[in-house]
Structure formats: structure tokens, C-alpha cells
Amino acid sequence: MALYSEKVMDHFRNPRNVGVIEDADGVGTVGNAKCGDIMKMYLKIENDVIVDVKFETFGCGSAIASSSMATELIKGKPVSEALQLTNKAVAEALDGLPDYKMHCSVLAEEAIKAALEDYNHRKK
């Protein structure tokens, strides 16, 4: 059995939504000191819908793939739905991650939630 699924390899080799949104409505940065992965998510939100999402990730292939897949899962979705995204959903959408790489999907979930928290803070 391969260590990584075809979907993980595809999102690693061809990550979706990489970049920066200069006038982002929400920005979230998270990191894992143990492995050194850092993720930054940028959200553009209109009428409580995520119309654009970009990411910058410094980390391993699983971290990049998790970031990429997470952006795909929330793009075009209402904020309320994006808040429900779990690391398990990210890992399942990638057809699984090795146990010792599951923290990458956790970081993707946390980065999105941090960006949504920033968005809510800015709205006030």
C-alpha cells in the first residue's frame, strides 16, 4: 500500500488556491512547533459566503495537501458551514493520511477557524 493516496499527491503536486488575498476579510495563522509546519489562510467573504480563499503553507507534503483540500472544501460555502469543517473531513476528502500526519489536517482546520475568528472580530 502506498504511504500517500493519489489525492494527497495531487494536492501536494498541484495545490489549489495558493497565494495571498491582499484585502482579506479574515486571516488566520497557525503552526506546530513540533513539526515546524506553519499555515496561513486568507478569506474573502461577501454576504456571509466565502467567495475566495487562499493559503500559504510552509511544511511537508501532507500539510500542503491538507491546506489545499481544506480551501476546496470551504470555497463558496456559507461561513456557518465552514465553521463545521473538521480535520477528519479534510483527511477523508484526501482519502486518508498516515496517523503520524493527521496533525496536518488539524492545522488546516485550525487555520480556517482562526481566519473566521479574525473575520468575526473585524466585523464588530
The residue with cell 485550525 is: 110
Asked whether residue 27 is assigned to any structural domain, the reply reads yes
CATH number at residue 80: 3.90.1010.10
30-52 pLDDT tens trace: 998 778 899 999 999 999 999 99
* Contact yes or no for 75/52 (Cβ under 8 A): yes
Asked whether residue 1 is assigned to any structural domain, the reply reads no
60 is known as an active-site residue: no
Asked whether residue 17 is assigned to any structural domain, the reply reads yes
Q: pTM of the predicted model, to two decimals?
A: 0.94
Asked whether residue 113 is assigned to any structural domain, the reply reads yes
Catalytic residue among 104, 107, 111, 112: 104
pLDDT band at 2 (very low <50, low <70, confident <90, very high): low
Asked whether residue 16 is assigned to any structural domain, the reply reads yes
What is the Cα–Cα distance from 93 to 5, expressed in whole angstroms?
Answer: 10
Q: What is the mean pLDDT of the chain?
A: 95
Report the domain count for the chain.
Answer: 1
Asked whether residue 81 is assigned to any structural domain, the reply reads yes
Q: Of all residues in the chain, what percent carry a pLDDT higher than 70?
A: 98
Whole-number pLDDT of residue 1? 40
What is the Cα–Cα distance from 82 to 74, expressed in whole angstroms?
Answer: 5
Asked whether residue 58 is assigned to any structural domain, the reply reads yes
What is the Cα–Cα distance from 43 to 41, expressed in whole angstroms?
Answer: 7
**Domain span at 27:** 6-123
7-35 pLDDT tens trace: 999 999 999 999 999 999 999 999 987 78
Catalytic residue among 35, 49, 89, 106: 35
Whole-number pLDDT of residue 22? 96
Least confident piece of the model among 1-5, 44-48, 81-85: 1-5
* Contact yes or no for 112/70 (Cβ under 8 A): yes
Asked whether residue 97 is assigned to any structural domain, the reply reads yes
